[in-house]
Copies of this chain bind each other. A is one copy, B any other.
């Protein structure tokens, strides 16, 4: 099919009529599919079944001879930190293991920055007047929500396919009120892009107006490849140290999408000064983390190879779902100009840019088809996508058959919304819509 904009109005009207018929037929299937959140499927969680009976009741002694059941060990077990050090790109003594949520560690890092300040800063951020974070867009709504909850302004920065537009970033961070920046550097949520080496180096080296600027580096998909050899990611901590900005990066990760989404381990990694700062604050908050879950993870994986084998099993389950989305979108939308979309090599999302002004309409249409989508706009600060164009598809949780059906429904909704919009632009209407 040619581009919609090139179709004669009569053909457009025919297409609209056909799509409405298809819509009615699809609706008649009575589907109820949820494509909203990046949740692992039950089959993925089954990969970690053995974890559910670990550490077991025979041996709760850590490598250093401590009883993992009792209080203490604020930084996390050395063996757990060593196991995940590679994933974090930091030596084990610069890793902190938290509870089950890396988001919580990001929240706490911001809260402590607001109330106490960070190393290199003159005062708590809450005493600095209005402060801002850069928000590469489209991005992750829960990152934005943390800033929004505490009155930190979000400044959108466009992503390029290899990370944020660094000219824009460098210009914006010159402003001293810009205190931080959100990044999902590998398989970014939702675009799937991985930051290029040059991007990482510029992030590490750029001059910031704030001496206590921090990059919140949420490496949520560090090992979450959909292909055998995904793109490499430069080590930001190393790059920051090499650029004379050793304290710039806060690195976060978790095993939520490696082991158990609700019951994994979360990590913070950073420079020695930042880790000391984090632990000083964390030590006011808690006597120590759940070390039994750390011990369970250590015994489950044993080593980095164990993690790699485990992620290959995830890939085998996830890749077909992403292929199904790609196939459905390509079959319906190729050449139409109604949408462009990512073909991610990892992560949990397919980002789709539909015809500007139609994203909310697509979500509404998909809803009529029984396909629940992440609300349009949610990939932007404040939930407001100025172009009303970006959509996030999360194909991990439903079964492969459901993903196929849902993606076909979404593609149908995207095309119909685009046809409606084109007709509207021409002053025509879609009969019966």
A contacts, CB < 8 Å to B: 37, 39-40, 42, 45, 48-57, 60, 67-73, 99-101, 103-104, 107-108, 111, 114-116, 126, 142, 145-146, 149-150, 256, 260-263, 281, 284-293
**By the criterion CB–CB under 8 Å, are A142 and B287 in contact?**
yes
Which B residues are CB-close (under 8 A) to A114?
115
Which B residues are CB-close (under 8 A) to A262?
68-73, 287-292
Q: How many copies make up the complex? A: 2
Which B residues are CB-close (under 8 A) to A48?
69
- Contacting A126 at CB < 8 Å: which of B73, B115, B291, B293? B115
Residues A57 and B67 in contact in the complex (CB < 8 Å), given A142-B287, A262-B72, A289-B100? no
**By the criterion CB–CB under 8 Å, are A285 and B103 in contact?**
yes
Which B residues are CB-close (under 8 A) to A68?
262-263
Name A114's closest neighbour in chain B (CB-CB). B115
**29 sampled A-B residue pairs with Cβ under 8 A:** A42-B70, A45-B69, A48-B69, A52-B55, A52-B56, A53-B54, A70-B261, A70-B262, A71-B256, A99-B99, A100-B286, A100-B289, A101-B285, A101-B287, A101-B288, A104-B285, A107-B285, A108-B285, A115-B115, A142-B287, A146-B284, A146-B285, A149-B284, A262-B287, A262-B288, A262-B290, A262-B292, A263-B292, A290-B290
- Contacting A37 at CB < 8 Å: which of B56, B69, B71, B103? B71
| Residue picked from A67, A72, A73, A256, most chain B C-beta under 10 Å | A67
